[in-house]
């Protein structure tokens, strides 16, 4: 497909990399020539310097023949005007718009048809939703749902006192009373798809597929004593904090926001009258002590500086805060450092947003129903989990998985047949209509289910 990406900041660049790897014809637009040079030198794409909201720039970028426009600039108004102008030039073009300002969010949703928008994304709200999900099951570093919520892909870190330390995967049933599949392990910054003889070590981050109904049992087997989160401190008063505070308020969770910008604190206090908002510098331990960090159930580092978020999360962990979540904006640049640190859960708004857009693009290209209906990136983007519905064209139906010859770095993790979940093993089979969860390492480019086979 011919795709135009307007705005190549963090999210735009991530999308350019993913969609170019999928083989799309990409043209990027940005006001900054330095950004265009950087992206065009890294990826096989065309670049155009200019204002993406003007008709002439969009025509020069090929909007009249494009299949899709993705507006990802830093300005909501520019993104919206860009999409409307593109639709004027080409009524058949699909448009995806990023809207970040909470004042516009509901209005744009209600007027979606008026503007002809195909998809609206909000990285900060997506991050807030993901954090709220993690707080529901303290102990897991990451959760992804598949098959209408029946299957969960969860991330867990093995500590020195973990019952999984030094256990080989063949012996997992002796420790866990729920059937799970450890489909990936991150060790030393690298990802491994383990076999039955693989022995787990302290410091490993493991990714497991498990029934959604068994998460509580799984946590108990892992030695994690989970209790309901009652009080959360948010370090930083940006957009993610605003959206997250709203979600936590609905759950009846006491929320406290700390920010060093007085004007921002005043705005948040007006917008969130039932949330405690404190003006202070979270880098000063006495400020955090005053605000009761050591007695909080969770601390979420949400400032606009990745390095500061890392430092504050490490401090919260040192103060024995049970749950720590860290927002990272430039996760690619820092992944080698972050992978070796015990930071709790890592949340990347740009990756969450990119996953949503890529999923939409893949559904656009599919005319047979064979492409993934859900795609999630885990392990810092080194592993992809995709859900497929088995169609009549799917190969090797009703064949034991043990007999299948799949490409290296790919495995089938779970199968849902008529609502019943099976964590995959060698004797498992899939049939037409089943949901199948496929795990693959980065770069495999699994577009359709049949791509998994050698």
What does 126-172 look like in DSSP terms, one character per residue?
A: HHHHHHHHHHHSTT-SEEEEETTTTEEEEEEE--TT-TTTT-BGGGG
Q: What is the pLDDT of residues 335-363, one digit of tens each?
A: 666 666 667 788 889 888 888 898 888 77
Kindly indicate the confidence band of residue 121, based on its pLDDT and cuts at 50, 70 and 90. very high
Handedness of CA 47, 74, 133, 283 (dihedral sign): positive
Backbone angles phi, psi at 407, to 5 degrees: -65, 155
Q: What is the pLDDT of residues 30-49, one digit of tens each?
A: 999 999 999 999 999 999 99
Round the average pLDDT of the chain to a whole number and report it: 89
Burial class of 368 by CB neighbour count within 10 A (0 to 12, 13 to 18, 19+): exposed
pLDDT more than 70, % of the chain? 96
pLDDT at 140 over 70: yes
Contact 4, 16 (CB under 8 A): no
Give me the domains of the chain, ranges plus CATH numbers.
2-121 (3.40.50.720), 128-221 (3.30.70.1450), 231-347 (3.40.50.720), 370-452 (3.30.70.1450)
Q: Token digits for 131?
A: 């954090």
Say how many C-beta atoms besides its own lie within 10 A of residue 80's C-beta.
Answer: 22
Q: What is the reported pLDDT for 109?
A: 82
Helix boundaries (H) for 285-389: 285-290, 306-318, 331-338, 349-365
Q: What is the reported pLDDT for 62?
A: 96
pLDDT at 134 over 90: no
């Amino acid at each position: 497909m011919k795709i135009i990406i307007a705005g190549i900041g963090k999210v735009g660049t991530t999308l350019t990399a993913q969609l170019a790897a999928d083989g799309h014809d990409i043209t990027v637009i940005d006001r900054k020539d330095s950004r265009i040079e950087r992206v065009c030198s890294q990826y096989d794409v065309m670049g155009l310097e200019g204002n993406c909201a003007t008709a002439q720039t969009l025509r020069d970028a090929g909007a009249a023949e494009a299949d899709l426009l993705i507006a990802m600039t830093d300005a909501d108004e520019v993104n919206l005007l860009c999409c409307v102008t593109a639709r004027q030039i080409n009524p058949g073009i699909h448009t995806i718009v990023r809207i970040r300002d909470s004042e516009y969010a509901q209005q744009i949703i209600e007027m979606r048809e008026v503007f002809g928008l195909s998809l609206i994304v909000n990285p900060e709200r997506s991050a807030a939703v993901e954090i709220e999900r993690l707080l529901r099951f303290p102990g897991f570093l990451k959760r992804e749902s598949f098959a209408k919520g029946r299957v969960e892909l969860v991330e867990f870190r093995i500590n020195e006192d973990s019952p999984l330390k030094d256990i080989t995967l063949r012996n997992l049933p002796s420790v866990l009373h729920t059937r799970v599949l450890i489909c990936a392990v991150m060790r030393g910054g690298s990802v491994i798809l383990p076999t039955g003889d693989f022995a787990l070590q302290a410091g490993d981050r493991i990714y497991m597929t498990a029934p959604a109904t068994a998460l509580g049992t799984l946590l108990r087997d892992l030695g994690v004593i989970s209790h309901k989160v009652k009080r959360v401190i948010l370090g930083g008063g940006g957009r993610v904090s605003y959206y997250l505070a709203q979600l936590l308020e609905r759950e009846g969770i006491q929320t406290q926001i700390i920010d060093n910008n007085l004007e921002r604190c005043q705005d948040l206090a007006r917008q969130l009258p039932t949330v405690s908002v404190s003006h202070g510098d979270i880098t000063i331990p006495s400020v955090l002590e005053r605000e009761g960090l050591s007695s909080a159930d969770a601390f979420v580092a949400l400032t606009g500086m990745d390095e500061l978020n890392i430092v504050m999360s490490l401090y919260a962990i040192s103060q024995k805060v049970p749950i720590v979540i860290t927002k990272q904006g430039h996760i690619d640049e820092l992944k080698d450092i972050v992978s070796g640190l015990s930071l709790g859960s890592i949340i990347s708004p740009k990756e969450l947003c990119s996953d949503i857009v890529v999923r939409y693009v893949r559904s656009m290209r599919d005319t047979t129903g064979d492409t993934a209906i859900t795609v999630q990136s885990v392990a810092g983007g080194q592993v992809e989990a995709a859900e497929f519905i088995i169609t009549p064209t799917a190969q090797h139906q009703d064949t034991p998985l043990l007999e299948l010859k799949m490409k290296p770095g790919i495995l089938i993790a779970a199968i849902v047949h008529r609502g019943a979940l099976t964590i995959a093993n060698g004797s498992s089979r899939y049939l037409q209509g089943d949901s199948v969860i496929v795990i693959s390492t980065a770069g495999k480019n699994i577009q359709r289910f049949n791509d998994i086979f050698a």
